[in-house]
Amino acid sequence: MKKFLLGTALGLTSAMFAATSSADLLTLSATDIYSGNTGFLNFAANGGDNAFALKTSGAVTGVGVSTNGNAHKAEIDIGESITASYADGFKLVSAKFSFLFDGPEYGDVQETAYITGTYKSGGQHFAKAVNIYVSPNDDAVNLYIDGVLSSALVSNSSQANYSVTGTLDLGALFGDNLLTSIKFEALPGVAGATGEYAYSQSDFSISQIVAVPEPGTLLLMGLGLLGLGASRRRLAK
């Protein structure tokens, strides 16, 4: 019985460590964030109505900030932001954005998404994704991390036109560093049209976030199980 209890604790601990890369991987859709089904992450919408809203175009759905209850404006506009936080620390595995348009047909050339990561070890680091207009229907995106061009982390991008919704897939923007929060906001872009349709507004929505919690949480749980097994072993003597 003693060996069984200790073996069970060790087995559960090993299983938890083995599952870190799969079972603890949190994949959140726009609908998850909107509904509050966000696992260990806490989300907050700032600006506008200080509330979340969903926007769907074609087969793409994104979550943004509600503005005057207008669902069509369910994006992160200038002066608005969405923040994800977890005090124990987490790693950002990937993020997917939608509606980060460019091109004269939309009056924009360089819509810009700005991401601030607050490190658990202290300090902040910054990522900036800029949708660059080169030609109609292009998918050119420049990604900068702390001012350094890091476009290799752009895993996929599709440019919007009148029948296709643009999306942008980004990898681990802050590497293996633990974050306590990550903030998504928009920066002013560069106008791509002239006349009444010219403007430099940037806006986008979040379609997906993938994250994993701080591994130490699993370690503490495992040590707790080991302690429980040892206590029962002493009591059984």
Sign of the CA dihedral with 93 first, then 98, 100, and 104 last: positive
Nearest CA among 122, 119, 126 for reference residue 145: 126
Do 29 and 142 sit in the same domain of this protein? yes
Domain extent for 237: 1-20+217-237
Query: Which residue in the block uniquely carries the two structure tokens 């991987």?
Result: 25
SS3 (DSSP) at 122:
coil
Same domain, 75 and 192: yes
pLDDT tens-digit readout, 121-152: 999 999 999 887 776 666 778 899 999 999 89
Q: Are residues 182 and 116 in the same domain?
A: yes
Mean pLDDT computed over every residue of the chain: 78
How many domains does the chain contain in total?
2
Does residue 82 share a domain with residue 3? Answer: no
Note whether 5 and 66 are same-domain residues.
no
Note whether 130 and 142 are within 8 A (CB).
yes
Q: Can you give the pTM of this predicted structure?
A: 0.78
Q: Is residue 226 domain-shared with residue 129, that is, in the same domain? A: no
Same domain, 104 and 188: yes
Q: Give 81's pLDDT tier (boundaries 50, 70, 90).
A: very high
Query: Residue 83: which CATH number?
Result: 2.60.120
237 and 195 fall within a common domain: no
With bands split at pLDDT 50, 70 and 90, how would you rate the model's confidence at 198? low
Per-residue pLDDT band at 18 (split at 50, 70, 90): very low
pLDDT: which is higher, 11 or 35? 35
Residue 108: DSSP 8-state: B
Residues 207 and 222 in one domain: no
Do 15 and 123 reside in the same domain of the chain?
no
Same-domain pairing of 43 and 142: yes
pLDDT tens digits for 158-169?
655 444 557 889
pLDDT at 165: 59
Output 174 or 58, whichever has higher pLDDT.
174
Q: Same structural domain for residues 34 and 127?
A: yes
